[in-house]
Structure 1
Amino acid sequence: MKPFFFILLTMILTVGLFAGEVGSECTFKGKKLAGKVQFVSSFPDFKVQIVDSFPDLKVKKVTSFPSDCGQWQEVTSFPDFKVQIVTSFPDFKVKYVDSFPGVP
């Protein structure tokens, strides 16, 4: 019974370490985190929490040419990826910035 709890505890701690990890190439789940984004209430590609400190990604909202890491242009159709804003259990956390977007 003890080995079972040890294995279970190890699995829980390991999953917690990797949650919210944005790659240094500015990707998550194989998708680049720059481009046209559609905010949805269901069936998102990513669940995101907006924070003021310790973000996984700094995001700058732009109106055109969202090509660099962390630059998001909000659209209502033909997005590069879909995002749902949540208050708990996000895939990763973002902070909106006016300059220097990207992986902190």
Structure 2
Amino acid sequence: MARKKIDLSKIHGRIQFVRSFPDYKVKVVDHFPDLKVKQVTHFPNKPGLWKIVNSFPDYKIQIVNSFPDFKIKYVKHFPGVK
């Protein structure tokens, strides 16, 4: 059965990195990301803006090397869906 396509424009807000039971599995890449991510401390209210937290996340993310749900690249400018 094919997996439903993820709406990456909704992946923003409070992000918690976990080792198990993630909402999404993500691979960090240097080229050809699905989502460009900028880490922020305030107002993570647009696609690609992530505030890293330890509790009460909007999404739980697990960093993996293979079989990711999508790929990200950390950027300083112009975050969002590629």
Gaps of 5+ in 2: none
Is the radius of gyration larger for structure 1 or structure 2? Answer: 1
Higher strand share: 2
The count of corresponding residues between Structure 1 and Structure 2 is 82
Counting helix residues as a fraction of each chain, which structure ranks higher?
1
Residue 64 of structure 1: how far off its partner (Å): 1.1
Letter in 1 for 2:20: S
Residue in structure 2 matching 1:46, options 4, 24, 29: 24
TM-score (norm 2): 0.91
Q: Could you tell me the percent identity over the aligned residues? A: 60
- Determine the structure 2 residue equivalent to 1:5: none
Q: Which amino acid aligns with 2:31?
A: S
Whole-Å separation in 1 of the counterparts to 2:56 and 2:42: 14
Matched, 1:94 2:72: yes
Shift of 1:22: 4.6
The TM-score, its normalising length taken from structure 1, stands at 0.73
Structure 1 gap ranges (5+): 1-10, 27-31
CA distance in 2, matches of 1:97, 1:81: 19
